[in-house]
Structure 1
Amino acid sequence: MGDRRRRSDQMEISLFWRVCLINAAVFAVGLVVLATSPATVSSPILPGELLVLLGGLALLVLANAALVRATLAPLYRLQQLMEDVDLLRPGHRLPEKGNGPVGDVISTFNAMLDRLEAERAASTGRALAAQEDERRRVAQELHDEVGQSLTAVLLGLRRIADRAPADLAPEIGIAQETARASLDEVRQVVRRLRPGVLDDLGLCSALTSLLSAHARLTGAAVQRTFSPSLPPLDPETELVIYRVAQEALTNVARHAGAEQVLVELAPTAGAAGVLLRIADDGRGMDGSVEGAGVRGMRERALLVGATLHISTSEAGGTDVRLLVPTHAREARS
């Protein structure tokens, strides 16, 4: 800490002397011009002479202001970057131009952003990994305990219905339907918590199941286009793509009121990455602030080095694009 403070003090003194030298240079130029000029000053000062002096003073002030502003301009750009920086949108850096203390400040700030983004990605990865583990545990318990218990209840009700009087049949039928509906809800929750089809049949099958459920629940027409030439993806990348699609479709169902939804999954040009696109014809974001769901999508994208872009679709709704570069997968391998 002491070394950092000493470097800061040296930086401030250096910047101070730089400004002083600029001012001294401007005044020296003004002095040379006055010394070599044939102009004289009367006593008392004549109006014409006063105008010349005021004009020279104005030129000196303007020249000094221009030079000082040019010296401090990188700091103004650094201030703007500090106001705009968002760790969920990595890559914002300031060009390290110039030398001296200002260049050192910019270089240090860019290095700090590198560390913060790396630490944010690592901490987010640990948090989301723990979240997925907890989802898997809860899903397993729901399937093994609650699901099995409801199945036992259904079997018991069936045996009771076979021996019960005829006048109790309607009530037993209602109980059976209630237990069956509860079992279906538990299975849906289990699928949302941990999509077994993703582990068993792969990404395209899991997305197809997700889209079928979305169409059934919302009544929207879903058009899907999955390329048959997708590059191999590791389980972590497939899970990120699935979760982003799941959250995007949840937002469409809750907020968009869309009648048509387009989902595309295809490799990019040159197979440099994989692009997931989800577009709808709903209400769009209308400039609203991004909520926790969208920020969660951005956090997941960071885990695999992907970028998430959200814009207005051609139909006036929302267009969500997740670009996962293949080099990110190779770097983690």
Structure 2
Amino acid sequence: MDWDGPWRALPLGLLALATLIAAADAATPPAARLLTVALAAAVAAWHWWMVLAHPQWPERALTPMAIYFAGLLALAWLLSVRHPAYTLLVIACFPMAFVALPGRHAYLGVAASAVVVLGDPVALVRSGDSWPRVAAVLGVAALAAFLGWVIRAMEAEVGRRRAANRALESANLRLAALGEENTRLQGKLLAAARRTGVEGERGRMAREIHDTVAQSLAGIVTQLEAAEEAADDAAAVRHRLSVARNLARESLTEVRRALHELRPGPLTEARLPQALSALVTGWGDRHELPATLTVTGTARPLHPEVEVTLFRAVQEALVNVARHARAGRTVVTLSYMEDVVVADVRDDGVGFTPSAVSGEGFGLTAMRQRVNRLAGNLGVESAPGQGTAISVSVPAIPAEAEWGTR
């Protein structure tokens, strides 16, 4: 709570109360009461003009506040002489010293208020035995100064906490703005990466078709021509047709695999954790190898491109395990974090030395290209006899995020 307002209004409240008491005092002549009320109105106008009408002066401008406080104290003393009820206004001068006067000057105001509360300063000097009254003045001044110091210290602490809270709120707003800007820039980056990667993806598909389907079709043509030339040899014709049939089947398998890679069927009917669970379970059953999937963090829908990339990465890693690892167990972990999603595939197979392998297979190269298009990371850790670990980390782009022109 801000106490400046109540403290600044305190003299007016006590002044109004004292004026009601003095105006209702029948023992005072009407003319004297009228003069007292006029002085009270002057005090109210003085306080309003110097404090309430100029809120920037208190505790900042010494000269006007010193004039104000001296005038307030003098008028309060004069009113208290006319009627004892105005002692309330003199008492209000104690907190007003800390409200109006800056820094250490407030303690001088407290001392002056203590003198006025306990009596006329001239009377203190002329009194034959003034020490008791002086001691009382000093005691009241010390007590009021201590209380004022405590209140000022508390207000300073409240001010520091408010400043700290404002700074924290400002920092939080800046962080939120930076987060929104980061998300927006990330979307633009990914959109640009996708646009620039389209040609690379087309080139990769062209190379794959050339290396698989085109070569198979060329082999089929060769076998059919050879069968035509050996038409008189039934055994040779059957052999050539058998080779051509096998090449056609292999070509069909490659075409289906390429189409499946463009649109993974499991992800059209389920989210990523369910699709990976089915993939890992089916892979383990086909190869008769123990394989488990563990999902950590809070699973949430991701952008289709992110889910496809993670699904294909795990799929390719499992293919490599079946072909090369000779593993006894495979563990797949899908970890949902705040900003990224990580898929790890670990096996206890024979392992290898990554630095000793020249180049990468097509599957690992395609995996790396997919991950790079998402500004992600692909890591391979392995050593002879210690198995292999493949880790794919991609940004956790939400499902509703804009991806850019496809």
Please state which band the TM-score falls in when normalised by the shorter chain.
0.3 to 0.5
Question: Bigger radius of gyration, 1 or 2?
Answer: 2
TM-score w.r.t. length of structure 2: 0.35
- TM-score, L = length of structure 1: 0.42
Which structure has more relative contact order (CA 8 Å, sep 6+)? It is: 1
